[in-house]
Structure 1
Amino acid sequence: MDYAKMPAREIERLARNVHPGAWTIDSSQPLATLLGSCVAVCLYDPLLRVGGINHFMLPDLARSRHGDVDSLLSGNFAMEALLNALLGKGAKKVRLQAKAFGGGTIIDTDGGSLSIGMRNANFAKEWLERESIPLTSSDFLGPWSRKIIFLPTTGDAFCKRMVTNMATAEVIAREEKAYAQTLLQKPAATDKKIELF
């Protein structure tokens, strides 16, 4: 399908949504995410024409007593997972290009939102520099939430800044907090035994 000839609203309608703590690669369908203080990084191999996106809430998280499920929200896990998935599809690290977005201040009730967004943005830039992956475009910080649409086959990314009203801020904060809460719940006990071999 030629998304280049479609209006942005139609591309957005067809996009697969990527939630906080998630990452995905695709070679055909547009990918989208909604960001507040979180950051999304898009990686793309122009020769193979495959790319992916992640969405992380914090640069890193310590392992909890419930195991490593909390790592899903961290930038260090999200970046490694996305990179390894693309390499698994045949992408070459030397060809990868990046676009990154987010780190906005949407709610500042405790004075900490700005520092979280800035820490996320700084982490993304530092990680890409350390891995020698060029950051070809970015849109970080500011008082906005952002809607990101990424086309994995072309590497094109669209960023729509949204003035954050209380309704938008509450939706983003609720989604981020709901996901974070799932990490605090102790996994259900099971009678099944796992045998390693």
Structure 2
Amino acid sequence: MTIIKVGIADLQTVRAPDRIKTSGLGSCVGVILYDLTKQAAGLAHVMLPDSKLAKQSQKNVLKFADTAVDSLMDEVCSIGARKYALKAKMAGGAQMFDSASNQDSIGDKNVQAVQAALLRHHITPEAMDVGGHSGRTIEFNPADGMLSIRTVYKGETII
């Protein structure tokens, strides 16, 4: 078994028995699309909600929720997942800094943008661990669909 690491503003795919992992999810969101029957999965580490806010010269499509989810779907289907069978899980979107304003934090905006991008593909996340004020590291196992989440100061949970 190999653990495939996903960087910030990055995307990777994996087939069982390998696993996929990303660290450093503060306000970022880790979104996983997977087909349990085919034991295929992909993970995108999303930094920002909307690619329309980026300068054209700096447009890494994997950085933004609205474009990363589309790329994730294409990539996971390219390794054998079936679009109609895809399920999703997500984690992250923390508010890492105190804010005096009542506006949504970047973490909240990222969560909402990932959910909206998934909804465009008629996918509702099966499980989420989002929000709060702590960073996370996640690891997904495409063999059983379990997402392990290690949250700073809170330990590990499985969804």
TM-score range, shorter chain: 0.7 to 0.9
Q: 1:67 to 1:101 in 2, by over 3 A?
A: closer
TM-score by length of 1: 0.68
Deviation, 1:33, is: 1.1
Matched letter for residue 11 of structure 2: W
Cα RMSD (Å): 2.3
Residue 17 of structure 2 corresponds to residue 26 of structure 1: no
Which segments of 5 or more consecutive residues in structure 2 lack a partner in the other structure?
Answer: 155-159
Query: Equivalences for 1:70-85 in 2 at 5 Å?
Result: 71-85=61-75
Residue 5 of structure 2 corresponds to residue 17 of structure 1: yes
Highest CA radius of gyration, 1 or 2?
A: 1
TM-score by length of 2: 0.83
Residue aligning to 2:111: 121
Greater fraction of residues in strand = 2
CA contact (8 A) 1:37 1:113 kept: no
CA contact (8 A) 2:47 2:110 kept: yes
CA contact (8 A) 1:107 1:113 kept: no
Match of 2:57 among 55, 63, 66: 66
Cα distance in 2 between the residues matched to 1:72 and 1:89: 18
Greater fraction of residues in helix = 1
Residue aligning to 1:187: none
CA contact (8 A) 1:101 1:138 kept: yes
Residue aligning to 1:88: 78
CA contact (8 A) 1:146 1:160 kept: yes
Deviation, 1:110, is: 7.7
Matched letter for residue 42 of structure 2: G
Cα distance in 2 between the residues matched to 1:150 and 1:92: 18
Residue aligning to 1:39: 29
Which segments of 5 or more consecutive residues in structure 1 lack a partner in the other structure?
Answer: 2-13, 165-197
Number of residues of Structure 1 aligned to a counterpart in Structure 2? 151
Q: 1:148 to 1:112 in 2, by over 3 A?
A: farther
- The runs of at least 4 consecutive aligned structure 1 residues that moved more than 4 Å come to 109-114
Q: 1:21 to 1:111 in 2, by over 3 A?
A: farther
